[in-house]
Amino acid sequence: MEDIGELLSRGFSVWKKNLNLCLPFLFSIILSMLMLMAFVAAIFMVLMPEGFDALMFEDSQNATLMQAQMESILSGLDAAQLTSAALLFLGVMLLISLINSFFSAGAIGMARQALETGRSDTAEMWSSGRKYFRNMFLATLLIGLITFAGMVALLPAIALYPNPLATDARTAGSLIFGLLLFLLYALAVSVILIAAPYALVVENLGPVSALRAAIRFFRYNKFDVFVMWLVVTALSTGLQMIGGAAGEGAGGQPLSLIASLANLMVLAPLSGLWWTRLYMNRAGMLKVDEVKDPW
């Protein structure tokens, strides 16, 4: 069994020889952005056709006109229009979630293939995506429901006053305490169930079985899970801080863009490979001497 240091090092070596592991993450973000852009364009064209035309120009007069039209039309929307817009937005969010589920399953499938054979290809991405995206979507939905169940921590603050944001010290203190409890609960859920997507694809499990497997995995590998989570979180936070600091300085936009691309095309596939390797290794599905290297 590999220790964390060996796992990170060997996972990095596999990633260097399989740079195409970034493709699922790239496709996912591109398609998600296109869906959001289509939603925004549809809202503008239906509710504010003149404002939509103003988007095609850069002069401040058209931008001011568009803003005024937006404020006027939004204030005049009736309940039916708001409901339609909300339903459309919900549909777009569900579609984006399905897209992310498809490519998340494809990314894990490619990582598994790279670890088992030494080579990954895009055919595995499409195959795993088609095979597991429904269960991945349902598992993601279950994790979201479990996470938001922690909102019960905010009930005491909500019960104190009709407006939980009132300036009353008791209400404010209860609200802050409830938010802290919820954040700690959500963090704990994300760490405990972090292996669920990998269990789902690697072991071909259903959504509920994947959550149970993730809980069992965490129970017997708490230290490894925590260290891996800490490493990935530290790297991601570091890249975000670099990108944010670079974006604030003069001429720092290129550096900010590079940091964002590094997060998407390097850290995302690398961390996915690390998590897949950790799960397979600790579950006895991947032994070091069985890993093939065709190079």
Percentage of the chain surpassing pLDDT 70? 73
Please check the confidence at residue 138 and state whether its pLDDT lies above 90: yes
Q: Which two tokens stand for residue 157?
A: 């603050």
How far apart CA 133 and CA 127 sit, in angstroms, is 10
Query: Which band of pLDDT confidence, cut at 50, 70 and 90, is reported for residue 158?
Result: low
Instruction: Quickly count: other Cβ atoms within 10 Å of residue 137's Cβ.
Output: 20
Note the pLDDT of residue 91.
84
Query: Which band of pLDDT confidence, cut at 50, 70 and 90, is reported for residue 192?
Result: very high
**Amino acid identity of 118?**
G
Q: Which of 7-11, 51-55, 117-121, 209-213 has the lowest mean pLDDT?
A: 51-55
List the chain domain ranges.
4-290
Note the pLDDT of residue 154.
63
How far apart CA 124 and CA 121 sit, in angstroms, is 6
How far apart CA 97 and CA 8 sit, in angstroms, is 29
Residue 279 contacts residue 202 (beta carbons within 8 Å):
yes
More confident residue, 78 or 232: 232
Note the pLDDT of residue 59.
47
Rounded to whole angstroms, the maximal C-alpha distance in the chain is 68
How far apart CA 29 and CA 40 sit, in angstroms, is 16
Q: Which two tokens stand for residue 68?
A: 């005024």
